Structure 1
């Protein structure tokens, strides 16, 4: 049943939600470099900036394509409030992702908790 839910959630995000959300000017986006294509890949997500650090939780952990891209090249960009920031992403499997979600915006955190099956905390150290 979990695999069916994951498949539905991924298809919904890939073909409906993400294309629409990418068009919203103030939507937070994570830009990674495609590990095979070398092309920029933009993923809408939620998280929180604290100083020069941006935190978010991946709902499918290492099965997420953007996490696989980060593993191949941790240099990323994050669009926050319409402005792009470069940085380096760090995967934190030892972090308590459920506790981290309580510190992040609740609307997105609800979705990650509800549909996520393999939570993984990610910290992006933003340049300057």
Structure 2
């Protein structure tokens, strides 16, 4: 029998994959994270919330290492982030020792509320942007 957190993960990822993400990717100023698919080698673009602080972009993955983009980062940490309609190359770092709940308090409020509500394995990700 599956646990409530497993059901939440499956329901949320299905909603994101088939409805929310295809719509959000089309919005010209929505923040996107582009990773390289670990199996396909193709670019994978994921809409997300986060905040740029200087030459660093911070985000929190709601499902931690279960998130496909986190698994792609583990295979290849070179990423691109679209912020305000402009693409920036960078290197992503998983931050398991960072407090993701405290980090969410510093990120955009609406996205952070959704991540806290739906997430089952929060994980902070830091992207060091190339200047």
**TM-score, with structure 1 as normaliser:** 0.99
The residue correspondences of 1:87-102 to structure 2 (distance < 5 A) are 87-102=90-105
Let me know the Cα RMSD of the aligned residues. 0.4
Q: Shift of residue 116 of structure 1?
A: 0.3
Q: Deviations over 1:98-123 (max 9, x none)?
A: 00000000000000000000000000
Structure 2 unpaired stretches of 5+? none
Q: Which portions of structure 1, spanning 4 or more consecutive aligned residues, are displaced by more than 2 angstroms?
A: none
Which of residues 42, 49, 65 in structure 1 aligns to 2:45? 42
- SS of the equivalent of 1:90 reads strand
Q: 2 CA distance for matches of 1:88 and 1:120?
A: 16
- SS of the equivalent of 1:55 reads strand
Aligned residues: 128
Q: 1 CA distance for matches of 2:10 and 2:41?
A: 25
Q: Are positions 1:29 and 2:32 aligned together? A: yes
Q: 1 CA distance for matches of 2:12 and 2:68?
A: 14
Q: 2 CA distance for matches of 1:69 and 1:5?
A: 22
Counterpart of 2:88 in structure 1 is 85
Q: Deviations over 1:13-57 (max 9, x none)?
A: 000000000000000000000000000000000000000000000
